[in-house]
Amino acid sequence: MTIRLRLTVLYPALLAAFFLGFSLLVYFVVRSTLISPVDVALEAAAVQKLSSAELFPTGNISQLISPSEGAILSPTNFFMVAANAEGVVESRSPNLLPSDAMLDSAAVGTVEPRYRTVTLRNTSLRVYTYPLYVQPDGERVLRGYFQIAQSIETIQEDLDFLLLILFGASIAVFFSFFLLGGWTTQEFLKPIQEITAVAVQISRADDLGRRLPDSGQRDEIGRLALALNQTFERLEKLFRAQQRLLADVSHELRTPLTTLRGNVDLMRHMGEYDREALDIMQDELKRMTRLVGDLLLLARADGGSLPVMRHQVELDTILFDVYRQIQPMQAEYGVTVQLRELTPTRVMGDPDRLKQLLLILLDNAIQYTPQGGEVRLSLLHEGREALMHISDTGPGIPAEHLPHIFERFYRVEKARTRAHGGSGLGLSIAKWIAEIHGGRIKVASLVGQGSTFTIHLPRVE
């Protein structure tokens, strides 16, 4: 059963059931209100009649109802019957036919006074039955029954009419709300149907660029559409990133593979190995190995399977170790690396990953700084954060490229070329390491004046 059908049928049915129950309550309250005065009058008349009966103490009930009472009785007043314990009528009021039995035959056997509504000759009567007892030897014995009744035909007609109105109103309420519920449900579910249709089209056409229509309302359906649009946007980014990753990896691997194949073919053609060709092949193999290693690291990081240790480490010690480790690169690239300020700082993290983070940023800064340039390294405090600044005097990064430099395989043309041997994954790995430690990386750069990378990490007091 669809949601629309359930909403269309279930709620009107529940409402009609509630209204029907309320109608029955109203009916019985009105009935009790109308019948109660009749019951009071019957009981009073029975008490008056039985209190004036002289033959009752003797046990003879055949003359309990005298014929003289017939003059004052009519079908609109009281009907009286005296019957023995077996239910055989011994006397009756003159306004009853001789063939009439007990007014309430079901009262035979009862031991307490009772009220009941019966039908006699198509007339509704309210009957009060009073059991008659005698005590001939001190023992209480049931002798018979005295019944007195009054017509409630008018009351019953009013009650039947009220019941008909209430029952008809319940049916009218159900069908009215059924039609109204069907229309309102259609209107309420229309946005969901549109969302479903667009989602199916997106799925079938693989068009992640499409978005669900935004009604502007921020109800449950509006928030659902907004959440789905955000999901589609994220999926589109992931899909585009995957496509770009496959294209970039293919492009990155094609160059070294072409170089390797060309050198192998050359040596095979010459019939002897060439040391220079072997050196080129070795460099390309190192590049491929580094690329595959970086890809594997990022894949494990994305999958959450890359372990990262967490314990207190001296960040200034790690920074000094990295500073000593990159000393040989100064002479190779003709760049001066200066350690400007080193404030003792503790952080929670993995020392190996933090060293990798610093090496990536320092390696980039040294490689892209021209000879005679300078790379500055410092560690400071700012509130509850430790700040590591890595500045260079390189060519800088154009402002339009700054938002994208941490994307995988992204390169800034002219300033970031393959001549430096990079794969375009280093900054992506650096960003992941900073974030896995609860920190972040910021970059500030001006073309022709260099760049400054700032690593923010939460420090331990």
Q: Are 244 and 424 in contact (CB under 8 A)?
A: no
Q: 297 with 326, same domain? A: no
3-state secondary structure of 348: strand
Distance CA 63, CA 56 (A): 9
Distance CA 206, CA 362 (A): 42
For residue 434, the tally of other CB atoms under 10 A from its CB is: 23
Q: 281 with 322, same domain? A: no
Does 205 map to a domain?
Answer: no
Q: Are 148 and 64 in contact (CB under 8 A)?
A: no
Written as one string, the DSSP assignment of 104-170 is -GGGTT--S-EEEEEEETTEEEEEEEEEEEE-TTSS-EEEEEEEEEEE-HHHHHHHHHHHHHHHHHH
Q: Give me the number of domains the chain comprises.
A: 3
Q: Are 17 and 167 in contact (CB under 8 A)?
A: no
Domain boundary among 278, 303, 328: 303
Q: 289 with 320, same domain? A: no
Q: Which two tokens stand for residue 254?
A: 């094609």
Q: 335 with 224, same domain? A: no
Q: 349 with 232, same domain? A: no
Domain boundary among 282, 303, 324: 303
Q: 136 with 276, same domain? A: no
Q: Are 138 and 128 in contact (CB under 8 A)?
A: no
Distance CA 314, CA 324 (A): 16
Q: 357 with 449, same domain? A: yes
Q: Are 65 and 80 in contact (CB under 8 A)?
A: yes
What are the backbone dihedrals phi and psi of residue 229, each rounded to the nearest 5 degrees, phi first? Answer: -65, -40
What are the C-alpha distances in Å from 322 to residues 151, 339, 354? 111, 11, 10
What are the C-alpha distances in Å from 435 to residues 58, 362, 407, 438? 108, 18, 14, 5
Distance CA 238, CA 327 (A): 39
Does 204 map to a domain?
Answer: no
Q: 12 with 145, same domain? A: yes
Give the chain's length: 461
pLDDT at 444: 93
User: In the Cβ-directed half-sphere of 217, how many Cα atoms lie within 13 Å?
Assistant: 7
For residue 423, the tally of other CB atoms under 10 A from its CB is: 21
Does 167 map to a domain?
Answer: no
Positions of E strands within 365-460 = 374-382, 385-392, 440-446, 450-460
Q: Which two tokens stand for residue 186?
A: 């259609």
User: In the Cβ-directed half-sphere of 101, how many Cα atoms lie within 13 Å?
Assistant: 10
Does 201 map to a domain?
Answer: no
H or E stretch including 3? helix 3-51
Q: Are 358 and 321 in contact (CB under 8 A)?
A: no
Domain boundary among 249, 271, 303: 303
Q: Are 64 and 91 in contact (CB under 8 A)?
A: yes
- For 206, residues 6+ apart whose C-beta sits below 8 A from its C-beta are none
Positions of E strands within 22-103 = 78-84, 89-92
If the chain, 461 residues long, is cut into consecutive pieces of 10 residues, what is the mean pLDDT of each piece?
66 78 88 91 86 59 59 58 86 79 87 89 88 77 88 88 87 79 71 75 69 69 77 77 69 71 76 73 75 73 72 91 87 87 89 90 90 92 91 90 83 51 75 90 91 93 77
CATH of residue 362's domain is 3.30.565.10
CATH of residue 292's domain is 1.10.287.130
Range of the domain at 284: 220-303
Does 317 map to a domain?
Answer: yes
Does 178 map to a domain?
Answer: no
Calculate the CA dihedral of residues 431, 434, 440, 446 and round it to 10 degrees.
Answer: -50
Q: 74 with 129, same domain? A: yes
Query: Among candidates 355, 325, 320, 318, which has minimal Cα distance to 339?
Result: 320
Q: 298 with 319, same domain? A: no
pLDDT at 415: 41
Q: Which two tokens stand for residue 191?
A: 């946005």
Q: 348 with 416, same domain? A: yes
Q: 142 with 230, same domain? A: no
CATH of residue 42's domain is 3.30.450.20
Place of tokens 């000759």: 121
Does 46 map to a domain?
Answer: yes
pLDDT at 377: 92
3-state secondary structure of 389: strand
pLDDT at 53: 64
Does 447 map to a domain?
Answer: yes
| Helical ranges in 271-350 per DSSP H | 275-303, 315-325, 327-333
Largest CA distance in the chain: 150
